[in-house]
Amino acid sequence: MKYFKIKILSAILGIILFSNITAYSAAVYVESKTIETVLKLIMKNYVSNISQAEIINGGIKNLNKYLKDNSYITVLSSINASQTPDKQVKNLLDQINNLLSKSKTLKKDTVMAEFVKGAVESLNDQFSVYLSKDEYKKLIEQMEGGNFGGIGIYIDTDKNSGYFTIVSPIDNTPASEAGLKSGDIITKIEGKSTKNMTPNEASKLLRGDIGTPVTITVMSSGSNIPEDVTLIRAYIHMKSLTYKIINNDIGYIKLDIFGDQTSREIEEALNYFQERGVRGYILDLRNNGGGYVITAVEVCSKFLPSMSQIITIEGKSFSKIQYRSFPNFRPNFPVVILVNEYSASASEITAGAFQDHKYAKIIGEKTYGKASVQTIIPLLDGSAIKITTARYLTPNQRDLNKKGLVPDITIKMSPLKIGTQNDVQLKKAIEFISHEIKNKFTFKPYFKDNNYFDEAYTLSELYYKMQNYKNETVSDDIQNQNIIILDNNYYDKITKNNPKSPQYYFDITSFFN
């Protein structure tokens, strides 16, 4: 399912869109509207109040570092915070154009990229970043199940060491075949230290042509001895989930990411289970770092009663948006959701909705604690900025940010044991579901509020009702920024009229390579 207009990002559930950001007036060297637009997008939509001078000076600081590192003589001066916002921008543009006029080798695109990167970094927000063309392309590939040459791992930054940790290897890839496991620490890639390296920088080193080698230095979990491991890059295509039947009547779904195809894939799994008489489900969200906000809503909708509240999103630039589940006519089979410390964002949205509605037993360990929403906004040169634009609350108005979700049944276990004979969390889930199947079976109502049923003549009409659609603008300066959530039919109509309209993707906490 595709969605149009300001897509809000986060762990899984929202969509906001900025269209028509293409009418820029060109300056002699640097398009003033480009810088002005970036600054306005950050100022108006970043979740917290911030100073424009601080953002500009953050960009200048990073640009000056680039200039010094590359032996350029001219550097830029900091902006005075006492100046009016318009004068601050004019001062910046004058300095940049003066810089470009004095250098025959310095490229405008490089100057803009270094400035925007520093501007976003000045937010001091680990989830707000500048994405180069390649980084943005790879993020889209990840969310849409793209194909590339890689080794097949999810990585995240280890909180203690600053190096990369393997969240999980992907089955039947060079990483899994080499014996790499969840919890292993990657200290070097091709001889370069990964300490404080960004996931995007790591992706550049790990990915490459199929059949080419890449050497990583790995410390196995529980070991202090690093070892070099050379892997041959292979074709990587990732489905967002795998599924199987356990004990003839339990449907097990291991969901790795809330991606573009997840709704279709989970529907395929549920149909497979239904045809084979499954009467209970285990939804495994362990090591799942998130994905599209709207996909979390779709996943919840496969199980929860129609019109159940899933999440409330609050942002500085828009009113509260409440998401409810879509029409659902499946029987109320018992559900267990498995989580651990690497379950984040969209995973927490999903588990939180089930827990608040008491429609599943949550088993495992306390989750990551990421309750912020990011919006990824493409720029004209093919790069993008990702900024935190909102916070989210569970149906019971719980804020999980930096707190995490506490399971109903806590069972501590190393991520290394997931999927092995010693997976005690999964064993407990099977035990619980088997007991539920044996002792009770009930059907849930088709709609949380039956009054909606008579009004739901079409899915698109119901979709609007569920999203509590309001015709509100996010910004007075950028045209057509109404918050609109559209189903396939509306999306097709709009994209025919606006074939170049951008799409917005949202944040995840881990990257696969």
Known catalytic membership, residue 356:
yes
How far is the C-alpha of 374 from the C-alpha of 390, rounded, in Å? 7
- The encoded tokens of residue 198 equal 């960004």
Known catalytic membership, residue 325:
no
Given a contact cutoff of 8 angstroms between Cβ atoms, the answer to whether 431 and 439 are in contact is: no
Known catalytic membership, residue 345:
yes
**Domains defined along the chain, listed by start:** 147-237 (2.30.42.10)
Given a contact cutoff of 8 angstroms between Cβ atoms, the answer to whether 155 and 186 are in contact is: yes
Residue whose structure tokens are 């590359």: 70
Kindly give the parts of the chain with pLDDT less than 70: 1-33, 142-147, 440-513
User: Which ranges constitute the DSSP H helices of 258-374?
Assistant: 262-275, 293-301, 346-356
Active-site residue, selected from the candidate residues 134, 356, 408, 423: 356
Taking alpha carbons only, the member of 7, 82, 8 closest to residue 47 is: 8
For the packed helices 32-45 and 85-102, what is the interaxial angle rounded to 10 degrees?
140
- The encoded tokens of residue 81 equal 């915070």
What is the structure's pLDDT at 452?
37
Residue 101, phi then psi, degrees to nearest 5: -70, -25
Give the count of beta carbons closer than 10 Å to the beta carbon of residue 451: 9
Active-site residue, selected from the candidate residues 7, 361, 370, 444: 370
Active-site residue, selected from the candidate residues 263, 308, 325, 345: 345
Predicted structure pTM score? 0.66
- The encoded tokens of residue 84 equal 């009016």
Taking alpha carbons only, the member of 141, 142, 169 closest to residue 155 is: 169
